[in-house]
Structure 1
Amino acid sequence: MMNVSLNKFRFCVSMMLLILFMGSAKAQFSKKDKKSRPNIIVFLVDDMGWMDTSVPFGDSVMPLNKRYHTPNMERLSKEGMKFTNAYAQPVCTPTRASMLSGMNAAHARITNWTSPANNNPTDNADEQFSAPEWNYNGMSPVAGIPHTQYATPFPQLLKDAGYFTVHVGKAHWGSAGTPGANPLSMGFITNIAGHAAGHPQSYLGEDNYGNKAGKASWQAVPDLGEYYGTGTFLTDALTKEAIKTLENPIKNKQPFYLNMAHYAVHDPIMADPRYYQKYIDAGLDQVEAKYASLVEGMDQSLGDVMDYLKSKQADKNTIIVFMSDNGGLSLAPPRGGQAHTQNLPLKAGKGSVNEGGIRVPMIVKWPGVTKPASVADQYVIIEDFFPSLLEMAKVSDDKKVQDIDGKSFVPILKNPDFKDDNRALIWHIPNKWIANEGPGINYQSAIRKGDWKLIYDMRDQSKQLYNLKTDIGEHIDLVDKHPEVVKTLSKTLSEQLRQWKATMPIDKKTNQPVQMPDESE
């Protein structure tokens, strides 16, 4: 009996030692795995157009490139890869929700901006159409919230894998009072200045960024009290706060994800005093000088972050992804000059499915992976960020609850000559974004496949066809010359919208939804 008890004791001790060893080995592996993972920064600019930079994203330096001064974007493009055909959605919330969820805006039914003030649709009234059924409360990490798309944000997956996750600046994923409005509910450990609003009440520290008694609106920027009355421009205050949040993870060698989401260059168009006078001296009108100063202030922020990483010797293990959330604003006012000329040679601007509203600047620097000063012409779209960033971080998406529409662009980062003309990109705006009409604005769908782009106008079911390789400005409508291409793209667009159960506006006369593109031959 004694021998049996002794053997049982030895067996238990051996098992305990084995469990302790395995746990220690697992911890060691986990620690080693975390160290091998890269830091990731997404530097997301609000309303920055494809031409709002001294970096040429076209095939040559164009007149508008000469207007702006963005030396740090130039520096990033020299160190990384420039994407000439990167796309967002036409307005902010659809882009931002697609980025965090990996879902196309039509699939998520987040097809217009969400209101910070109340949980109601933001559609403008229209004589012809009633608003479609859409998720006007945005994205939610919690199931069962009315008028939201339930989805797992990728920052949550990064956080669960050991990343220190930080959001700084504009959020605008969901309406006030819903879980999606709060970055802390979306997988971020730290949140600075992110809430339900889509633009700042003021960029000025003298205005407390809108936080003055009796004057504060939903757009007053939270969390920046130490800069009140200091004269610190909002872009600079956010940069200073972002850098502070990186101290601990860098010191502790913990991988971090920073969502650096500037409010700039969204209106109100206010002068960044550090740069305004130089643009006045260059001959710009006051509005465009203010706008250019916002652009350069954003670029300085990029440089400050890059300089900080280098000073901490963290730059070699940090991926930087630069992107804008939609094309540049081309409504005048609030922009200066003639309306819809601010993104030339691209047509129209923010809110439009024409290239000026959806094609945006994008640069990726991944040390050791992207070739310096490389250029990728393969088209990509904002929902691609979800699978791409997780692949970069070596983090699984097994725990996500949604179906992903995006495709990883990591193969492009490894090979700038990567080409896929069979993929179709889709935009679908069954909403009335603004009261006035403009090129490609309100009730529009579009599809790009290869060099071909089809636009469907829901008002009269008309179509336009362009070849973007030869006509980047979308001037020459080829719809009559290539009926077979029109038919094929109409079918592809319609089938995808049906698969996603995308909604259409309701015709007030018939009380029926507008026909799909392949039903209106």
Structure 2
Amino acid sequence: MSRFRGLFHRRGSLFVALCVATFWQFCDGIEARSEPAEKPNVVFILADDLGYNELGSFGQEKIKTPNLDRLASQGMRLTQHYSGNAVCAPSRCVLMTGKHPGHAVVRNNREAKPEGQWPLPAEEVTLAKKMNAIGYTTGGFGKWGLGGPSSTGDPMDQGFDRFFGYNCQYHAHSYYPSYLWSDRAKIALQNDPEIPGHASLAKDADPADPASYEPFKGTDYAPDRINAQTLEFVKANQDKPFFLYYPTVIPHVALHVPDEDLKPYHDLGWKDPPFTRSKGYGYTPHFTPRAAYAAMITRMDRYVGNVLDLLDELGLADNTIVIFSSDNGTTHLEQEVDYEFFDSVGELRGLKGSLYEGGVRVPTIVRWPGHIEPGSSSDRISGFEDWMPTLMEILNDEPASEDADGVSLAATLKGQEQSPRKPLYREFSGYGGQQSLRAGDWKAVRQGLTKKGIKTELYNIKEDIGEQNDVAAKHPKIVARMERAMKEEHSPSEVFPLKPIDN
């Protein structure tokens, strides 16, 4: 009997131990299933026509951008990042589709009546659609420019669950419009009449009198409305993963900004000659254009700060990837935006509309706490087409397809070594027709493609960041390789032909 009790005791202990072990394994399984790793939110903020050197963290000395400078101190600056193209719509197309300009559908700005630009086709796979497919709620707030209302390119048909702002780029030339779009409905603003984006001083107006510029001031500032809706989207979706695309219209001209933002720059005593639009060219006049431009950028910075502060307040900052960039370089309209006074592109050559560095190299910042080293920087060559594969790798462990134009930056963002990028190709059918190819330190540029004869320029960007010394004659073999690569990367477009290449 005692032997039986001993056997039962030993076997019972074993049984209890097995039960306990099984119980804890079961609990571990429950914990693993009930608390999966949360997918990070993504906030992509896109400035409009912001130059490479127009943030404090990228060298700006006159314009104050404290919130974006703070973002840079908390994340990584990408110092060789390229926008999708040299002007608005084709650049945004590259960002949204992950296709470089030689393959993208939209390759230039083109208005489509009655409102909007050349539309993305219905079957296009956009970043918003990709985010939707992996469980993200998506919202776009600001300027769209890739297809008018009810077209195939309408943002509500291209993967966005929520849209608020300007659909049409031309409509966005006014910061005091009569309406904005909320999803598929027009929302009236309190601007009666609407302040036009293009207008001139009255014939009898004195250009030296500040009162002459009063007609270009409105009541209901559209960027305020857009920022408010952006914050509402974050609040409404704080308990689930969201993708926030915030393509702000600032600092694209016209020079429209509330008076209260001008005073800090007026107090600096800048010599600030009025922009009068005397020749009928450009956007609406402004009495102090330098102060207005600086104030617009500082106001944009404040909008960014509102988003960052809300992420902190809601406890979302540590689980949110924040990306900031610009759709192209500073505008070439020097009477409205004094890019020399602000040193807007630093040492770079070219402005908006150009495939030289100043037209397409843009200030870019990425913050992801716990993954990206604060205050770091990377000079890896990258471009807008890289964001789709980067985010898909991070969020869904999804490798880019072999024929994808973009290359994931995930390793670089995490501070890991990454092999050199394949050549980065750009083409632009506007402003005379242009092509460029960046391969390592070398950059090939072609200008004036609408004319007979094609000349390829070659620059060593590491030694000549200002693209002042064309060394094509010294390196014919490199030029030949670059020309072959440009030919391979270009696919003909009936809508946006690159003459004379497509003839």
In the superposition, relative to structure 1, how do residues 29 and 94 fare at CA in structure 2: closer, same or farther (>3 Å)? farther
Q: Does 1:96 find its partner at 2:92? A: yes
C-alpha deviation, 1:248, in angstroms: 2.2
Equivalent position amino acid for 2:77 in 1: K
Question: 1:378, 1:419 within 8 Å by CA — same for their partners in 2?
Answer: no
Q: Distance in 1 between the 2:454 and 2:370 partners?
A: 49
Secondary structure of residue in 2 paired with 1:447: strand
C-alpha deviation, 1:344, in angstroms: 3.1
Q: Does 1:189 find its partner at 2:129? A: no
Give percent identity, aligned residues only. 26
Which deviates further from its counterpart, 164-173 or 152-161?
Answer: 152-161
C-alpha deviation, 1:415, in angstroms: 1.8
C-alpha deviation, 1:376, in angstroms: 0.5
Question: 2:174, 2:197 within 8 Å by CA — same for their partners in 1?
Answer: no
Question: Which residue pairs with 1:415 in the alignment?
Answer: 415
Equivalent position amino acid for 1:429 in 2: F
Question: 1:388, 1:409 within 8 Å by CA — same for their partners in 2?
Answer: yes
Give TM-score, length-normalised by structure 2.
0.77
How does 1:99-118 map onto structure 2 within 5 Å? 99-118=95-114
C-alpha deviation, 1:29, in angstroms: 8.5
C-alpha deviation, 1:369, in angstroms: 0.8
C-alpha deviation, 1:405, in angstroms: 1.1
Q: Does 1:137 find its partner at 2:132? A: no
Q: Distance in 2 between the 1:216 and 1:454 partners?
A: 43
C-alpha deviation, 1:177, in angstroms: 4.2
Question: Which residue pairs with 1:151 in the alignment?
Answer: 124
In the superposition, relative to structure 1, how do residues 478 and 413 fare at CA in structure 2: closer, same or farther (>3 Å)? same
Question: Which residue pairs with 2:440 in the alignment?
Answer: 450
How does 1:265-414 map onto structure 2 within 5 Å? 265-282=251-268, 283=270, 285=272, 286-336=288-338, 342-394=344-396, 396=398, 404-414=404-414
Question: Which residue pairs with 1:170 in the alignment?
Answer: 143
Question: 1:40, 1:318 within 8 Å by CA — same for their partners in 2?
Answer: yes
Question: 1:47, 1:328 within 8 Å by CA — same for their partners in 2?
Answer: yes
Equivalent position amino acid for 2:433 in 1: Y
Equivalent position amino acid for 1:446 in 2: S
Question: 2:351, 2:358 within 8 Å by CA — same for their partners in 1?
Answer: yes
Aligned length: 430
Question: Which residue pairs with 1:86 in the alignment?
Answer: 81
Question: 2:174, 2:195 within 8 Å by CA — same for their partners in 1?
Answer: no
Q: Distance in 2 between the 1:80 and 1:243 partners?
A: 22
Q: Distance in 2 between the 1:406 and 1:306 partners?
A: 28
| Structure 1 unmatched ranges of 5 or more | 1-25, 121-135, 143-149, 220-228, 432-440, 515-521
Q: Distance in 2 between the 1:502 and 1:96 partners?
A: 17
Q: Distance in 1 between the 2:491 and 2:228 partners?
A: 46
Question: 2:428, 2:434 within 8 Å by CA — same for their partners in 1?
Answer: yes
Which deviates further from its counterpart, 334-343 or 274-283?
Answer: 334-343
In the superposition, relative to structure 1, how do residues 27 and 137 fare at CA in structure 2: closer, same or farther (>3 Å)? farther
Q: Distance in 2 between the 1:185 and 1:443 partners?
A: 31
Question: 1:115, 1:175 within 8 Å by CA — same for their partners in 2?
Answer: no
Equivalent position amino acid for 1:269 in 2: L
Q: Does 1:485 find its partner at 2:478? A: yes
Equivalent position amino acid for 2:265 in 1: Y
Q: Distance in 2 between the 1:315 and 1:138 partners?
A: 34
C-alpha deviation, 1:186, in angstroms: 1.3
Secondary structure of residue in 1 paired with 2:472: coil
Which deviates further from its counterpart, 444-453 or 93-102?
Answer: 93-102
Question: Which residue pairs with 1:21 in the alignment?
Answer: none
Q: Distance in 1 between the 2:493 and 2:74 partners?
A: 39
In the superposition, relative to structure 1, how do residues 344 and 210 fare at CA in structure 2: closer, same or farther (>3 Å)? farther
C-alpha deviation, 1:195, in angstroms: 1.4
Q: Does 1:255 find its partner at 2:269? A: no
Question: 2:175, 2:222 within 8 Å by CA — same for their partners in 1?
Answer: yes
C-alpha deviation, 1:337, in angstroms: 6.3
Question: 1:119, 1:137 within 8 Å by CA — same for their partners in 2?
Answer: no
Q: Distance in 2 between the 1:453 and 1:337 partners?
A: 24
Q: Distance in 1 between the 2:248 and 2:47 partners?
A: 5
Question: Which residue pairs with 1:425 in the alignment?
Answer: 424
In the superposition, relative to structure 1, how do residues 273 and 87 fare at CA in structure 2: closer, same or farther (>3 Å)? same
Question: Which residue pairs with 2:53 in the alignment?
Answer: 51
| Structure 2 unmatched ranges of 5 or more | 1-28, 181-187, 199-216, 273-287
